[in-house]
């Protein structure tokens, strides 16, 4: 930049000197002097423009370099909750767009299996749709809550019951209430659908209701999608699923008159909610630069937008 300024100053000086010399000539050279003066001025202006252009270009280049992400490369592996599949896939895709030399892979094996995998060093991050247990934390797992999810209670679309109390829900899943007619619905057996043992959704659901290992299931299925499909196709059925997968194939019930949505979950008015955890072996600051960059992204404004896009609730 300094060289450009010196060049511009030199051109300006030369132009001034030339104009002074021309002024000393007689009137017979006035026309020639005017033409030469104009040419010198045009040359000076062009030189100044070139210098300004080069300076702007340099500033733009510097700005682009500052805006560019760090040159990270490598791979990240995640395993765990099937309820976090939508979020994990969206996170992987978005993060790899920002860091094209990074590969993020996710497997969906259940929350408990994911935590076991990260503790065993078989993956970098264990995804869990429940809080970690005291035993898991004692073994070195760090609970990094990245989002909040509501657990929706769903029935087949034709069910006439639209609301349940907490006590009624407990009675259904404990096997005490077995017919919808006892709840103001049709005379129809209740088909209780749930998740398999080790599922984060099941663990959170049973813990909130105080029904650990006490639920009476007609069907125990191994994924959120399987629960949705079973409930949608089975008259009289009831199940629980992650809030972000709801669609019009099932009917979502209110609980004690409260709808499952972000406002009600954050306020605590809707009682069925749980955290989405990306567990690491040791604290985040103990992880590699690559893993720390992923968590920085999750907790950034871009990460908040992604969390909301997939139907989850931010921790802010």
For residue 268, what pLDDT is reported?
A: 85
Rounded to whole angstroms, how far apart are CA atoms 112 and 204?
12
Rounded to whole angstroms, how far apart are CA atoms 165 and 169?
6
**Section 120-143 average pLDDT:** 97
For residue 311, what pLDDT is reported?
A: 85
Strand duo 250-252 + 145-156: pairing: antiparallel
Equal CATH topology for 74-147+276-309 and 148-273: yes
For residue 64, what pLDDT is reported?
A: 43
> What's the whole-number average pLDDT of the chain?
84
Residue 146 tokens read as: 């990245």
CATH superfamily for domain 148-273? Periplasmic binding protein-like II (3.40.190.10)
Residue 90 binned pLDDT confidence (cut-offs 50, 70, 90): very high
φ, ψ at 59 (rounded to 5°)? -65, -40
**Section 285-305 average pLDDT:** 97
For residue 81, what pLDDT is reported?
A: 93
Report domain 74-147+276-309's class: alpha beta
pLDDT tens for residues 160-181?
Answer: 999 999 999 999 999 999 999 9
CA distances from 2 to 55, 146, 260 (A): 10, 49, 63
Count how many Cα atoms sit within 13 Å of the Cα of residue 17 in the half-sphere of its side chain.
6
For residue 71, what pLDDT is reported?
A: 82
Q: Is the pLDDT of residue 119 over 70?
A: yes
Structural domain boundaries in the chain: 2-63, 74-147+276-309, 148-273
Rounded to whole angstroms, how far apart are CA atoms 65 and 97?
17
In sequence order, what DSSP letters do the residues of 39-72 get, joined into one string?
Answer: HHHHHHHHHHHHHHHHHHHHHHHHHHHHHSPP--
Residue with tokens 């008015």: 269
Instruction: Please tell me which residue, 298 or 55, carries the higher pLDDT value.
Output: 298
Residue 70 binned pLDDT confidence (cut-offs 50, 70, 90): low
In this structure, the number of other CB atoms found within 10 A of the CB of residue 174 comes to 15
pLDDT tens for residues 223-273?
Answer: 999 999 999 999 999 999 988 889 999 999 999 999 998 899 988 899 999
Q: Cα angle at 192 between 187 and 196, to 5 degrees?
A: 170
CA distances from 91 to 74, 204, 314 (A): 16, 23, 14
* Window from 42-51, 68-77, 107-116 with minimum mean pLDDT: 42-51
Percent of the chain predicted with pLDDT > 70: 78
In this structure, the number of other CB atoms found within 10 A of the CB of residue 164 comes to 22
Percent of the chain predicted with pLDDT > 90: 69
For residue 252, what pLDDT is reported?
A: 97
In this structure, the number of other CB atoms found within 10 A of the CB of residue 25 comes to 11
pLDDT tens for residues 7-20?
Answer: 444 433 444 333 34
Residue 46 binned pLDDT confidence (cut-offs 50, 70, 90): very low
For residue 316, what pLDDT is reported?
A: 80
* Window from 138-147, 186-195, 198-207 with minimum mean pLDDT: 198-207
- Which pTM was predicted? 0.66
pLDDT tens for residues 120-130?
Answer: 999 999 999 99
**Section 73-88 average pLDDT:** 95
Rounded to whole angstroms, how far apart are CA atoms 119 and 126?
8
């Amino acid at each position: 930049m300094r060289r450009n300024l010196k060049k511009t100053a030199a051109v300006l000086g030369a132009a001034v000197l030339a104009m002074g010399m021309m002024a000393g000539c007689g009137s017979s050279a006035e026309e020639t002097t005017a033409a030469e003066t104009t040419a010198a001025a045009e040359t000076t202006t062009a030189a100044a423009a070139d210098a300004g252009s080069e300076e702007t270009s340099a500033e733009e280049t510097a700005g682009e370099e500052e805006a560019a992400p760090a040159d990270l490369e490598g791979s990240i592996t995640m395993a765990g909750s099937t309820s976090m599949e939508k979020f994990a896939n969206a996170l992987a895709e978005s993060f790899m767009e920002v860091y094209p030399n990074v590969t993020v892979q996710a497997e969906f094996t259940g929350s408990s299996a994911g935590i076991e995998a990260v503790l065993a060093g078989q993956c970098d991050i264990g995804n869990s749709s429940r809080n970690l247990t005291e035993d898991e934390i004692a073994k070195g797992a760090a609970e990094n809550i990245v989002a909040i999810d509501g657990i929706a209670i769903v029935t087949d679309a034709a069910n006439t019951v639209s609301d349940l109390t907490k006590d009624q829900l407990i009675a259904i899943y404990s096997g005490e209430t077995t017919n919808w007619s006892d709840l103001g619905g049709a005379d129809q057996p209740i088909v209780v659908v749930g998740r398999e043992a080790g599922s984060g959704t099941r663990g959170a659901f049973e813990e909130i209701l105080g029904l650990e290992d006490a639920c009476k299931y007609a069907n125990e299925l191994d994924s959120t999608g399987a629960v949705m499909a079973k409930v949608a196709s089975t008259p009289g059925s009831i199940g629980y699923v992650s809030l972000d997968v709801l669609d019009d194939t099932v009917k979502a019930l209110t609980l004690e008159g409260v709808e499952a949505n972000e406002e009600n979950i954050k306020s605590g008015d809707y009682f069925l909610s749980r955290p989405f955890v990306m567990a690491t072996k040791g604290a985040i600051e103990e992880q590699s630069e690559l893993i720390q960059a992923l968590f920085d992204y999750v907790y950034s404004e871009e990460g908040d937008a992604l969390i909301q896009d997939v139907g989850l609730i931010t921790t802010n």
